[in-house]
């Protein structure tokens, strides 16, 4: 990314990489490498705001940077904005494209706006330039854009371009070019040399690692995705080498890197970094990725059998189970949000039944959180219940004060299900219990409020045991759904289906 002076924003816009999310990572993304062009560029703008009265005003804008073109990004457009005198704005967009023989074509367009402010949309002048820069060569482009409507405003612009085509079989210069394009502010200082790894080369930096191979190109990993990649074994794992930089998901929230081992690492602030691979990834893609029915992955891919091969991944809203050569729907047992709510409402009323002053009018769900961040297995959603009612004042002439209690509850499975272990299911308090009681002086309301708090909090003095699932049942996941309901997922075999039936009976008779 280029750097900017104090004269306005600078951005670089990139075309969509040729290796998209919908393509096979092991094949199509191999096309997204090839020759790289390292482009070092600088821009100078000398802007004059012609004044009818008084002296003309002048501004000078200089900036520069490094860009890298490859097959995944064969075109980049760089934007420079300069402002002068409170009335003139000049926008210069320069597009760099890979051309034959390692050359780069350069095309620029300058627009001059003049009006009552620098943010005017009144376009008064335009100019352009085009040319080609051979590999290993430098070239300068000069253009003047002037106000052709009225006034003598103008800007003299010079763009200097150096183009170096890099040999795809020489990894270290390609990695260095990538690092220069990212900038030291992004990567930090190098902490290793250019070193050979399985399938390619790598250079480590304080804040990122850059990997390169002729078939994958140069790509960076950073943050929690880098940490997950390293924890899985990096290039020695089944993920192999990254074939994209860390990229934002279309929903604008998550991040991902694709890897050549037909797998990806997806990160979301409420899930953590999770790997998803192969047929499971393909099914997830068919359903719309993170914006589809499953949401984001909440576990790495888990292997539970080898004859036949059995894998599954947990997601925010479901489980994808892969057996042999295809996806199989897991067996399930579920309880709707309304049924879970009814069980909690009954528990709250039982706890306050011995106090005639307390009358519970309603118990409702007022919130269901997103999943909880974790590095290996995201936590369940938290359901917040609100208990509302009245406290008897004991006097006919004084209104009965109202109360509201909010209780956040998390449903958990311990240990996390993996289809092999016995698992205990529980519900526990997940935060501070909030209580509000209307204040009527002299009624002992605070004593009643404290007693009410103690009665409801006593439900969660320890986790509420909901039941246990034996190892033979093959529990895959215990999940809170978006409607505050509960779903248990089991292996899609005879034992799993039998266990799902038994779990459904348990859920239907649940008592808290």
**H-only helix segments in 366-470:** 445-457
Q: How far apart are CA 9 and CA 12, in angstroms?
A: 10
The structure tokens 């899609």 sit at: 492
Q: How far apart are CA 304 and CA 440, in angstroms?
A: 61
CA separation, residue 93 to residues 108, 110, 145, 155 (Å): 6, 7, 13, 14
pLDDT over threshold 80, residue 445: no
pLDDT over threshold 80, residue 18: no
pLDDT over threshold 80, residue 396: no
What kind and span of H or E run contains 429? strand 423-429
Under the banding of pLDDT at 50, 70 and 90, the label for residue 402 is confident
- Give the model's pLDDT for residue 492: 94
Lowest pLDDT segment from 188-202, 352-366, 442-456, 471-485: 442-456
CA separation, residue 184 to residues 14, 205, 452 (Å): 20, 9, 58
pLDDT over threshold 70, residue 456: yes
- Choose between 35 and 479: higher pLDDT: 479
Q: Where are the domains of the chain?
A: 10-19+28-166, 171-329, 333-508
- Give the model's pLDDT for residue 21: 64
- Asked if 111 and 103 touch (Cβ cutoff 8 Å), the reply is no
Q: Give the residue from 128, 123, 129, 121 showing the smallest Cα distance to 148.
A: 123
- N-terminal to C-terminal alpha carbon distance within the chain: 57
Q: How far apart are CA 229 and CA 422, in angstroms?
A: 29
Lowest pLDDT segment from 30-44, 200-214, 234-248, 337-351: 30-44
Q: Distance between alpha carbon 111 and the CA centroid of its chain, in Å?
A: 36
Q: What angle do CA 491, 317, 364 make, to 5 degrees?
A: 115
Q: How far apart are CA 157 and CA 146, in angstroms?
A: 11
- Asked if 351 and 363 touch (Cβ cutoff 8 Å), the reply is no
Q: What is the pLDDT of residues 88-145, one digit of tens each?
A: 999 999 999 999 999 999 999 999 999 877 788 889 999 999 999 999 999 999 999 9
Q: Does pTM surpass 0.85?
A: no
Provide the greatest CA pair distance for the chain: 95
């Amino acid at each position: 990314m280029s750097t900017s002076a104090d004269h306005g924003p600078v951005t670089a816009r990139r075309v969509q990489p040729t290796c998209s999310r919908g393509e096979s990572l092991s094949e199509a993304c191999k096309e997204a490498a090839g020759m790289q062009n390292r482009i070092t560029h600088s821009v100078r703008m000398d802007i004059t705001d012609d004044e009818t009265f008084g002296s003309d005003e002048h501004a000078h804008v200089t900036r520069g940077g490094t860009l890298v073109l490859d097959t995944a990004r064969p075109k980049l457009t760089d934007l420079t904005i300069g402002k002068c005198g409170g009335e003139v704005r000049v926008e210069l967009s320069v597009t760099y494209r890979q051309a034959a023989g390692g050359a780069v074509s350069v095309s620029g367009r300058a627009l001059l706006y003049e009006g009552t402010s620098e943010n005017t949309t009144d376009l008064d002048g335009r100019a352009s330039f085009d040319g080609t820069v051979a590999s290993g060569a430098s070239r300068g482009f000069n253009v003047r854009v002037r106000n052709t409507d009225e006034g003598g405003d103008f800007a003299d612009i010079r763009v200097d371009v150096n183009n170096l085509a890099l040999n795809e079989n020489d990894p270290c210069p390609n990695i260095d070019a990538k690092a220069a394009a990212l900038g030291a502010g992004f990567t930090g200082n190098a902490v290793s040399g250019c070193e050979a790894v399985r399938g390619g080369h790598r250079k480590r930096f304080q804040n990122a690692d850059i990997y390169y191979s002729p078939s994958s190109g140069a790509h960076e990993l950073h943050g929690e995705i880098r940490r997950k990649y390293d924890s899985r074994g990096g290039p020695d794992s089944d993920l192999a080498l990254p074939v994209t930089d860390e990229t934002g998901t279309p929903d604008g929230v998550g991040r991902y890197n694709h890897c050549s081992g037909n797998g990806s690492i997806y990160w979301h602030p409420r899930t953590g970094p999770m790997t998803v691979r192969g047929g499971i990834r393909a099914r997830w893609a068919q359903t719309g990725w993170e914006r589809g029915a499953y949401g984001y992955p909440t576990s790495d891919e888990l292997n539970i059998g080898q004859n036949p091969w059995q894998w599954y991944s947990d997601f925010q809203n479901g489980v994808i189970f892969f057996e042999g050569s295809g996806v199989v729907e897991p067996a399930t047992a579920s309880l709707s949000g309304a049924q879970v709510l009814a069980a909690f409402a009954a528990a709250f009323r039982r706890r306050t039944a011995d106090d005639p002053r307390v009358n519970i009018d309603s118990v409702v769900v007022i919130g269901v959180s997103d999943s909880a961040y974790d590095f290996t297995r995201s936590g369940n959603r938290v359901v917040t219940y609100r208990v509302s009612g009245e406290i008897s004042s004991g006097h006919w002439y004084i209104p009965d004060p109202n109360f509201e209690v909010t209780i956040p509850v998390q449903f958990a499975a311990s240990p996390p299900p993996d289809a092999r272990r016995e698992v205990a299911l529980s519900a526990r308090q997940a935060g501070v219990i909030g209580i509000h009681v209307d204040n009527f002086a002299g009624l002992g309301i605070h004593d009643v409020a404290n007693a009410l708090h103690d009665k409801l909090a006593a439900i969660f003095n320890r986790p509420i045991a909901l039941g246990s699932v034996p190892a033979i049942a093959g529990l895959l996941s215990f999940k809170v759904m978006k409607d505050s309901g509960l779903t248990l997922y089991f292996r899609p075999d005879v034992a799993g289906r039998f266990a799902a039936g038994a779990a459904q009976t348990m859920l239907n008779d649940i008592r808290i």
